[in-house]
Amino acid sequence: MEIPEQIKKKLTLPAEEHFYAGHTACQGCGASLGLRYVLKAYGRKTIFAIPACCSTIIAGAWPYNTLGANLFHTAFETTGAVLGGIEAALKARGIKVKGEDGVMVVGWAGDGGTADIGLQALSGFLERGHDAVYIMYDNEAYMNTGIQRSGSTPYGAWTTNTPGGKRHFLEKRHKKKVIDIVIAHQIPYAATASVAYPEDFIRKLKTAQKTPGPSFIQLFAPCPTGWRSPTDKSIEIARLAVQTAYFPLFEYKDGKYRINMPNPKKEPKPIEEFLKYQGRFKYMTKEDIQILQEWVNREWERLKKLAEVFG
């Protein structure tokens, strides 16, 4: 579709669309938005590796492909390893990888495929230094199999295998800090991003493109189906996750931390703000909310310290 000039001028995102209509995501799906932005940033010369997850479905059943890029569907735990193989093949064949005109090799995996079953392959990928970008879209549970907990599920969340009830059995552990595990590999570039802040996300994708070696982006991607939230609230929830410092935006580049909050001067909002539209948190007691708030405070203070000391 041709975009009129006057609209183009106002756009803060690349105008090109490489994410086609006809995809099969639920309404309000954060992951599908994420894919759209990745394609805007990288375009046609991209090879995706996508493991078992909701995006397997979003990208379409055979013979369709809703992504305007080449896509290899792979096994749940293999994203990091497949990326390594694709990159090695490109190099062996003398094809340019990464950079402005090179082929972008992109892993796109859910939180489960990254934080849990795929962690080993992710670690190997990071440690070997492949020229590829690994994006974990974080919807905080296994959605494809029907909303079960993952290592990235937050404290107090209902899922189908941590149900709420009389005995009050909810997720009892705090969200695994995958990004910290990633940074411990001392890779050149790692960042968090959110579908509520697409300009920031695309800027980070571009940084990853320019940075040689492996990059990692953890993208906050609401899932109305699994979060029991209204389909028109996904962006608002994603924004609140940042504003409450539940999911702060930051970058780690060459050993340095930089926080990229939209309003750096503002104190974070209380965590209740983030919880309010989401049915998955409705079983939480006052004490539970307090426990989560304390975790958020602690982690936020820690991040600020890191940025201060290693900024």
Partner 1 sequence: MEYKPIRKVVSGNYAAAYAVKHARVQVVAAYPITPQTSIIEKIAEFIANGEVENLQYVPVESEHSAMAATIGASATGARAFTATSAQGLALMHEMLHWASGARLPIVMVDVNRAMAPPWSVWDDQTDSLAQRDTGWMQFYAENNQEVYDGVLMAFKIAETVNVPAMVVESAFILSHTYDVVEMIPQELVDEFLPLRKPLYDLADFEREPFSVGALATPADYYEFRYKLAKAHEEAKEVIRKVGQEFGERFGRDYSQMIETYRTEDADFVFMGMGSLMGTVKQAVDLLREEGYKVGAAKVRWFRPFPKEELYELARNVDGIAVLDRNYSFGMEGILFTEAKGALYNTDAKPLMKNYIVGLGGRDFTVNDVRKIAENMKAIIEKGELDVEVEWYHLKR
Ligand X SMILES: Cc1ncc(C[n+]2csc(CCOP(=O)(O)OP(=O)(O)O)c2C)c(N)n1
Residues that bind ligand X (CB under 6 A): 31, 52-54, 76, 110-113, 139, 142-145, 150
Find the part of the chain contacting partner 1 (CB under 8 A) among 4-12, 68-76, 134-142, 156-164: 68-76
Find the part of the chain contacting partner 1 (CB under 8 A) among 83-91, 185-193, 217-225, 229-237: 83-91
Reduce the DSSP state of residue 15 to 3 states and report it.
coil
Binding ligand SF4 (rule: CB under 6 A), the pick from 18, 19, 23, 31 is 31
Measured CA to CA, the distance from residue 252 to residue 310 in angstroms comes to 9
For the chain, what's the residue count? 311
Reduce the DSSP state of residue 136 to 3 states and report it.
strand
> What would the x/- binding string for partner 1 be over residues 86 to 125, using CB under 8 A?
x-xxxxxxxx-------x----------------xx-xx-
Distances (CA, A) of 274 to 32, 95, 234, 241, 288: 21, 45, 11, 6, 14
Bridge partners (DSSP) of residue 215 are 133, 189
Buried residues in 103-116 as b, exposed as e (16+ CB within 10 A): bbbbbbbbbbbbbb
Binding ligand SF4 (rule: CB under 6 A), the pick from 19, 25, 195, 248 is 25
Three-class secondary structure assignment of 150-204: CCCCCCCCCECCECCCCCCCCCCCCCCCHHHHHHCCCCCEEEEEECCCHHHHHHH
Residue number of the CB atom closest to ligand X: 110
Site for ligand SF4 contains 33 (CB under 6 A): no
Site for ligand SF4 contains 225 (CB under 6 A): yes
Which one of partner 1, ligand SF4, ligand X, none is in contact with 68 (Cβ closer than 5 to 8 A by kind)?
partner 1
Site for ligand SF4 contains 150 (CB under 6 A): no
Which one of ligand SF4, ligand X, partner 1, none is in contact with 45 (Cβ closer than 5 to 8 A by kind)?
partner 1
Measured CA to CA, the distance from residue 168 to residue 162 in angstroms comes to 9
Nearer to partner 1, 83 or 196 (CB): 83
Report the sign of the C-alpha dihedral through residues 38, 42, 43, 47, in that order: negative
Site for partner 1 contains 25 (CB under 8 A): no
> What would the x/- binding string for partner 1 be over residues 42 to 61, using CB under 8 A?
--xx-x-x------xx-xxx
- Beta strands 133-138; 104-110: pairing state: parallel
Which one of ligand X, ligand SF4, partner 1, none is in contact with 59 (Cβ closer than 5 to 8 A by kind)?
partner 1
Report the sign of the C-alpha dihedral through residues 198, 201, 203, 208, in that order: negative
Binding partner 1 (rule: CB under 8 A), the pick from 31, 38, 41, 81 is 81
What DSSP letter does each residue of 57-121 carry, written as one string? HHT-STT---BSSEEEE--TT-HHHHHHHHHHHHHHTT--BSTTTSBEEEEEEEHIIIIITTHHH
Nearer to ligand X, 36 or 98 (CB): 36
Binding ligand SF4 (rule: CB under 6 A), the pick from 118, 214, 224, 248 is 224
- Beta strands 189-194; 250-253: pairing state: antiparallel
Nearer to partner 1, 122 or 306 (CB): 122
Give me the residues that bind ligand SF4 (CB under 6 A), please: 25-26, 29, 31, 54, 58, 139, 143, 223-226
Give me the residues that bind partner 1 (CB under 8 A), please: 18, 44-45, 47, 49, 56-57, 59-65, 67-75, 77-78, 80-86, 88-95, 103, 120-121, 123-124, 127-128
